[in-house]
Structure 1
Amino acid sequence: MRPAHSKADDIAAALSAHGLVPRGGFAFTSSDAPPTGLSGAPAKSVLLVGQAGAAPWPHFLRWLEKQSQPIADPLDAWSREVIGTVAERFAARAVSPSDRPYLPFQQWAMRAEGLKPSPLGILMHPQYGLWHAYRGALLFEDEIALQEPRDVIHLCDTCLEKPCLKSCPVEAYSADGFAHETCLAHVRGQNGAPCRTGGCLDRNGCPYGTDYRYPAEVQA
């Protein structure tokens, strides 16, 4: 149990101004090899930051319109800027899933929110389905009060039809994994327009979390 009002609540309020939300966290233990915090000392706790649905999209577009020059990977750049500003306010080190060397974001996410991968590899959330993302994390050199991860039902275990594995015209997802070259060739080819404009057909085939499904322009 965390107190009625905490540092995590203040961080959540700061993130909400950009359509982002805290995505759970935990304190590192003696068996972990934590990354360094702001000063270079080992971090003691991590709070993941991400989105539920497409809430950040309007904020991102307004930011993008203000940029005077084209930016490579603009969504990553926006995420770094926003989460970095919040990190400065709360004396944390901001890190990104695309930072190198790569940090174990998916393992952190499973540990923080009790999630498991779907057949597509995206973590299945009991409320958001496949329509969520992790945009970064805040590393603290002290332990901050965080809610304990709760037990969640893994919806993929109860889904018998698995439409997420039956919608792709080139069967890019299978028990053997993701055939990314096959996927790219199809998406870039003459028959790939539905995927290019409306998003992954397998992902859209999932029946869960549809209220949070990204609009077509976001998926494109």
Structure 2
Amino acid sequence: MTAPSANADKTIETIRAALAPHGLFLRGTLNFASGEAAPLLADGRPAVSVVLVGNIGGSLWQPFDAWRCSLADRGGTDPLDNWSKAVIQPIAAACGATAYFPSDPPWQPFQQWAMRAEGLKPSPLGILIHPRFGLWHGYRAALGFDIPLGDTGERGTDHPCDRCSEKPCISACPAAALAGERFDVALCRSHLRTDAGRAGCLTSGCLSRDACPAGSRYRYPPEQLRFHMSALEV
């Protein structure tokens, strides 16, 4: 595989600077091996690399909320997705990249990319857990390039769940949705329809997520938690 060039490093720094005012970060890079399945660039060629773009803690909340409040329609039916595209697509175009979003088909394997690029593993909730940020992070897009790129993120060296013996996320769930081998979405949604669920998780955020000790200082602000929970169809 060809090594990243000086121009590639300059492109990455330009993107990093353009994302910063929006509370977004370059989260990690994945260079595809020859012949490996890769997303297609805008011109139909397979991408050589992708760099993940996302938030750390509540970093995007204030820029996003200011944008949403400035619009008569509050950003439409999917405001966070619409904001992400409004911010990231021009940056991608300016640097000759192709932007991919989790909400758009063909559905790209964002979690697989993140696990390879940042060395992350899933938590019992299904959310990828980061050694430093815990469960308080997310991916808003990926940028595809026709050149290899150097590392852009903070690669995990361990899995916080492996060194957590008490597993408070499991016992904190009022719906017992984490009692089995996989997170039970149906149990979670059923609980959120109850008075206790509406007064608890639906208002202040998932109690299991909040119970996780990893990255607790990156916890989303209350208004961001309410926004994300309100997006659930319960």
Q: How high is the TM-score relative to the length of structure 2?
A: 0.88
Distance 1:213 1:69 in 2: 28
Does the 8 Å CA contact 1:123/1:130 hold for their aligned counterparts? yes
Q: Which amino acid aligns with 2:37?
A: A
Letter in 1 for 2:65: L
Alignment of 1:16-55 (within 5 A): 16-55=20-59
Alignment of 1:62-73 (within 5 A): 62-70=66-74, 71-73=76-78
Aligned equivalent of 2:221 = 215
Contact 1:111/1:149 (8 A) holds in 2: no
- Provide the rounded CA distance (Å) in 2 between the counterparts of 1:151 and 1:16: 22
Which among 13, 16, 37 is matched to residue 12 of structure 1? Answer: 16
Deviations 1:107-139 (A, max 9, x none): 000010011111111111111011000111001
Higher helix share: 2
Do the aligned residues in 1 keep the contact of 2:201 with 2:207 (CA within 8 Å)?
yes
> In structure 2, what is the Cα distance between the partners aligned to 1:141 and 1:212?
34
Q: Counterpart of 1:145? A: 150
Give the structure 1 partner of residue 229 of structure 2: none
Shift of 1:185: 1.8
Aligned length: 220
1:41-68 per-residue CA deviation (whole Å, 9 max, x = no partner) reads 1111100000100011010011101222
- List per-residue Cα deviations over 1:75-131 (Å, max 9, x = no partner): 111112111121011111111111112111000000100111111111111110110
Q: Secondary structure at the match of 1:58?
A: helix
CA contact (8 A) 1:24 1:48 kept: yes
Write the letter of the residue equivalent to 1:200.
C
Match of 2:232 in 1: none
- The one-letter code matched in structure 2 to 1:25 is T
**Residue aligning to 1:113:** 118
TM-score (norm 1): 0.93
* Alignment-derived partner of residue 103 in structure 1: 108
Cα drift, residue 154 of structure 1: 0.8
Structure 1 window deviating more from structure 2 (108-117 vs 148-157): it is 148-157
Which amino acid counterpart does residue 87 of structure 1 have in structure 2? A
RMSD of equivalent CA atoms: 1.9
Q: Which runs of 5+ in 1 are unaligned?
A: none
SS at 1:208 equivalent: coil
